[in-house]
Amino acid sequence: MGAASGIELAKVLQRRLPDLPVLLASGYSHVLAQDGLHGFELLHKPYSADQLGRILGKVVPPRTAATDGQVGGTQDHAGFPSESSWDGTTRTS
């Protein structure tokens, strides 16, 4: 991951984007446990889709009508931005 550890990066993200959910995933959880998780959720590798779904349910706030579409533009059925780009223009395939 370069010069920063995952926890260091998570701390920077938490300071800059306090509403951004952060989830740590590691195959070396025993190393993370020595230093503590600093308030972040940890997903132990290898993990199943079920485990990922459960922990994402803990860290990602539920969507409400008030938060839908805040990123900009409309969203498709999966909640992703539609084919409109971030500047509002429509992309063609």
For the chain, how far is it from start to end, CA to CA, in angstroms? 34
The predicted structure's pLDDT at residue 52: 94
Q: Is residue 77 part of a domain?
A: no
At 45-72, the pLDDT tens digits run: 999 999 999 999 999 988 877 655 555 4
Q: Is residue 69 part of a domain?
A: no
Give the total number of structural domains in the chain: 1
At 15-39, the pLDDT tens digits run: 999 999 999 888 876 766 666 667 8
Domain of 13 in residue numbering reads as 6-59
Q: Is residue 14 part of a domain?
A: yes
Q: Is residue 45 part of a domain?
A: yes
At 69-87, the pLDDT tens digits run: 555 445 555 555 555 444 5
Percent of all residues in the chain with a pLDDT value above 90, rounded to a whole number: 26
Residue 54 vs residues 13, 28, 29, 57: alpha-carbon distances, Å: 22, 20, 18, 5
Q: Is residue 20 part of a domain?
A: yes
CB neighbour class for 89 (10 Å; exposed up to 12, middle 13-18, buried from 19): exposed
Q: Is residue 32 part of a domain?
A: yes
Q: Is residue 51 part of a domain?
A: yes
| CB burial string 53-73: b at 16+ within 10 A, e below | eebeeeeeeeeeeeeeeeeee
Q: Is residue 83 part of a domain?
A: no
